């Protein structure tokens, strides 16, 4: 059984003149210990998806329909009290800014001990021992010293390590990390990604990493879902998607990567911008930016097909598969 199964999830934002679609028909699943990336430009709905999974969607956002199952148990109908048993303990979230989670007026150690003792009945001494052990697991230098420091005394990278250590205290089965390295410089970013990967492997934790950066995706995720304007438009194994992207939006994102350009070549940025919630185009929402768009694309959103590489929502792929099938059936 899959660990997490999201099916036909629709999230809306309440508005006086008709609610806006924030997530549409989002479906994916996550297995135990698997690392999945949700990638797309800002405004694609990635964070909204992350928040929806842990019931942290703030008003006016709400889950309109669809299902989120964890070990087969429906999460969308849990009460706030039931959520206390799931959020943090089973599914934890890490944010771009560690200071969202860290309390600036408490030492790292006090916060860790408090987190431990709010869930288990162990004495201060044992809790402290456990906290220092987790700090050394996240490869923090001088863990006993860090235990007594305040968050502002630590670097950004170290704070993110502390967050990972805190998250690990409760042994979650899934970590959702929303742009966890975006605020860090490139070297530290690589270290934190490597750490997250190692930690997930050591502890058997599944990871959903939310990012706008395919460089991050390629370093850490086994599977990738590409989001555009509130929908997943392509999903499959990361390596195959990077080597042979099927959806024109995925192709555009990859072409815009500095690593993909030859020396002296200009980067191929995708023309135009991600539409805002209130301006989602009809049909395939990517059509105003897509070099292959036709009338059909403007009229109706494509369904999903399996291309042989990934599951993708695009008429170009759908038509190509139909042609192959016709050729096949015409063969004597
Ligand atoms: Fe482009 Fe049409 Fe495919 Fe959308 S469905 S990505 S507009 S070709
Ligand atoms: Mg975001």
For residue 325, the model assigns a pLDDT of: 87
What is the tens place of the pLDDT at every residue in 190-245?
A: 999 999 999 999 999 999 999 999 999 999 999 999 999 999 999 999 999 999 99
pLDDT exceeds cutoff 80 at 35 = yes
Report the pLDDT averaged over residues 49-66.
96
3-state secondary structure of 163: helix
pLDDT exceeds cutoff 90 at 80 = yes
- Rounded-to-integer distance, Cα 83 and Cα 74, Å: 11
- Rounded-to-integer distance, Cα 302 and Cα 245, Å: 17
For residue 263, the model assigns a pLDDT of: 61
For residue 128, the model assigns a pLDDT of: 96
Using a pLDDT cut of 70, give the percent of the chain over it. 97
What is the tens place of the pLDDT at every residue in 140-175?
A: 999 999 999 999 999 999 999 999 999 999 999 999
For residue 261, the model assigns a pLDDT of: 59
Give, for 117, the enclosing helix (H) or strand (E): helix 108-117
- Rounded-to-integer distance, Cα 196 and Cα 189, Å: 11
187-196: b or e for each residue (b if 16 or more CB lie within 10 Å)?
ebbebbbebb
- Rounded-to-integer distance, Cα 249 and Cα 228, Å: 8
Name the nearest CA neighbour of 218 among 183, 258, 173.
Answer: 258
Ligand positioned closest to the Cα atom of 46: 2
Ramachandran sector of residue 25 (left: φ over 0; alpha: ψ -120 to 50; beta: rest): left
For residue 81, the model assigns a pLDDT of: 94
Nearest CA to ligand 1 atom 7: 287
For the CA atoms of the chain, what is the radius of gyration?
A: 22
Q: With contact defined as beta carbons under 8 Å apart, do 220 and 226 qualify?
A: no
What is the tens place of the pLDDT at every residue in 119-140?
A: 888 999 999 999 999 999 999 9
Task: Please give the C-alpha separations between residue 85 and each of 58, 88, 94, in angstroms, as whole numbers.
Answer: 20, 8, 17
What is the tens place of the pLDDT at every residue in 169-202?
A: 999 999 999 999 998 999 999 999 999 999 999 9
CA torsion sign for 306, 227, 259, 186 is negative
Report the pLDDT averaged over residues 110-117.
94
pLDDT exceeds cutoff 90 at 247 = yes
Which residue of 280, 314, 320 sits with most ligand 1 atoms within 8 Å of its CB, as the best mutation to test the pocket? 314
Would you give the DSSP letter of residue 87?
B
For residue 268, the model assigns a pLDDT of: 74
- CA angle, residues 82, 1, 175, in degrees to nearest 5: 55
pLDDT exceeds cutoff 70 at 266 = no
Would you give the DSSP letter of residue 315?
H
Tell me how far the alpha carbon of residue 22 lies from the centroid of ligand 1, in angstroms: 20
pLDDT exceeds cutoff 90 at 264 = no
- Rounded-to-integer distance, Cα 34 and Cα 36, Å: 6
Tell me how far the alpha carbon of residue 93 lies from the centroid of ligand 2, in angstroms: 13
For residue 265, the model assigns a pLDDT of: 62
Give the least confident one: 4-18, 85-99, 151-165, 251-265.
Answer: 251-265
pLDDT exceeds cutoff 80 at 43 = yes
């Amino acid at each position: 059984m899959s660990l997490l199964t999201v099916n036909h999830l629709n999230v809306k934002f309440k508005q006086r003149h008709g609610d806006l679609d924030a997530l549409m028909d989002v479906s994916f699943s996550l297995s135990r210990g698997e690392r999945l990336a949700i990638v797309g430009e800002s405004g694609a709905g990635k964070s909204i998806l992350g928040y929806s999974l842990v019931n942290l969607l703030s008003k006016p956002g709400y889950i309109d329909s669809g299902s989120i199952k964890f070990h087969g148990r429906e999460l969308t109908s849990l009460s706030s009290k039931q959520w206390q048993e799931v959020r943090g303990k089973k599914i934890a979230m890490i944010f771009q800014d560690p200071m969202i989670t860290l309390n600036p007026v408490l030492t790292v150690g006090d916060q860790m001990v408090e987190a431990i003792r709010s869930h288990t009945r162990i004495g201060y001494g044992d809790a402290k021992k456990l906290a220092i052990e987790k700090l050394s697991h996240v490869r923090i230098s001088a863990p006993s010293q860090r235990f007594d420091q305040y968050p502002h005394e630590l670097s950004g990278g170290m704070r993110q390590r502390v967050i990972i250590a805190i998250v690990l205290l409760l042994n979650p089965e899934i970590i959702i990390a929303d742009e966890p390295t975006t605020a860090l410089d490139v070297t530290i970013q690589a270290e934190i990604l490597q750490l997250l990967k190692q930690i997930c492997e050591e502890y058997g934790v599944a990871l959903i990493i939310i990012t706008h950066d395919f460089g991050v995706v390629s370093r850490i995720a086994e599977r990738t879902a590409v989001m555009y304007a509130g929908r997943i438009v392509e999903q499959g194994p990361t390596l195959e998607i990077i080597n042979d992207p099927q959806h024109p939006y995925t192709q555009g994102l990859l072409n815009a990567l500095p690593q993909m350009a030859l020396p002296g070549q200009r980067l191929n940025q995708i023309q135009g911008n991600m539409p805002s919630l209130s301006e989602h185009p009809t049909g395939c929402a990517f059509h105003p930016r897509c070099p292959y768009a036709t009338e059909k694309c403007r009229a109706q959103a494509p369904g999903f097909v399996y291309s042989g590489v990934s599951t993708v929502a695009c008429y170009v792929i759908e038509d190509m598969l139909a042609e192959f099938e016709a050729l096949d059936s015409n063969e004597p």
